[in-house]
Amino acid sequence: MKLQQLKYLKAISDNNLNVSAASEALFTTQPGVSKQVLLLEKELGVRIFERHGKHLQRITDVGEKILEEVEKMLRLEQKIKALAKEHVDPGTGTFNIFTTHTIARYLLPSSVAVFTKRHPKINFNLQSTLPSQAKGGISRGYSDFSIVAHDVGQDSDLIVLPAYLWTLGLVVSKDHPLAQIEKPTLEQIAAYPILTYEQGASGRERVDEAFEKAELNPKYFMTTMDADVIKRYVELDFGIGIIASLAARDIEHMNLKYIDINHLLDPCKAWICFSKDVILQNYMYDFLGSFSPHLTKTLMEEVLMNSNSGRIEAMFKDIKLPIY
């Protein structure tokens, strides 16, 4: 069994069993990939893939189990490389972060600015992704950290830590009737078409909970995960917007007014996640500290020694999170 054969298996799985796409991703030839997979199956004595002619139809039951172990082995390979690199050439490398568009645009820049002054040789690979995809990016080894603004739940392979609290705010056009009201009520907000996040998003859940508790049935004109789209349509007078307060930081040049509605909606929690297999290098500790000041190196070392979700929850019980 060769490590390269395992990489071929993972690439095929990641590319929906398309051997041609897998070979392109690995910068090798399709016949070479197919040959190595067949040799591995012969060595193991089992079929990892079910075939129809030359095409792979599905992953067999035993193949699914094998691929789970393959992913663990490839993560271990990365872990070994990271250990060696930290020893040979500390302070260099690429930092992979999956996050949402809003966090990448409005919250990360200040942390990145501080970080790059301390670690000028570290390159950032910042991938803006949907909240539902961020967790998968870690489990597949594509990212070092994921920063998400919604609850990702617990996962036996991940460490999930509270990063900060974020609030929702109201954006209206400057000539809208609500623009003259300092603290609007839910009844006043429900009287107008609303543009906000899609169902299932943490922010949307807060909005729905508030209206349901008040026994109100608001009209949602538009739902989208992009706060910039919401702001644009509000500016065009299609309704009023409820978005993350962070995303309202740049409206001074727009025909919009931001209204604080913290008296109506509870804050949401954002999380930072990483694989239990990742080696936290010194520059990663520095990033965590600059992005979420409560995530000190001392606390993180304690987390790594007690990575059970229940113990982690107890550690953070009395920690006051920053609010944005």
Q: Which pLDDT does position 264 carry in this prediction?
A: 98
Residue 175 is assigned to a structural domain of this protein: yes
What's the burial of 260, exposed, middle or buried (CB within 10 Å: 0-12/13-18/19+)? middle
Give the predicted TM-score (pTM) of the model: 0.74
Using the 3D structure, point to which of 260, 280, 296 is the last residue of a domain: 260
Kindly report the CATH number assigned to the domain that includes residue 190. Answer: 3.40.190.10
108 and 120 housed in the same domain: yes
pLDDT digits (tens, 9 = 90+) for 247-278: 999 998 899 999 999 999 999 999 999 988 77
156 and 175 housed in the same domain: no
32 and 148 housed in the same domain: no
Residue 72 is assigned to a structural domain of this protein: yes
Residue 119 is assigned to a structural domain of this protein: yes
How confident is residue 218, by pLDDT bands cut at 50, 70 and 90? very high
Give the separation between CA 289 and CA 295, rounded to whole angstroms. 5
pLDDT digits (tens, 9 = 90+) for 150-177: 887 767 778 999 999 999 999 999 999 9
Residue 157 is assigned to a structural domain of this protein: yes
98 and 224 housed in the same domain: no
Asked whether the beta carbons of 122 and 115 are under 8 A apart, the reply is yes
Phi, psi of 165, deg, nearest 5: -105, 145
Q: How many domains does the chain have?
A: 3
Q: Which pLDDT does position 280 carry in this prediction?
A: 86
**Cα angle: 307, vertex 141, 9; to 5 degrees:** 125
Residue 71 is assigned to a structural domain of this protein: yes
Residue 320 is assigned to a structural domain of this protein: no
Domain that holds residue 194: 168-260
- In 87-121, the DSSP E strands lie at 93-99
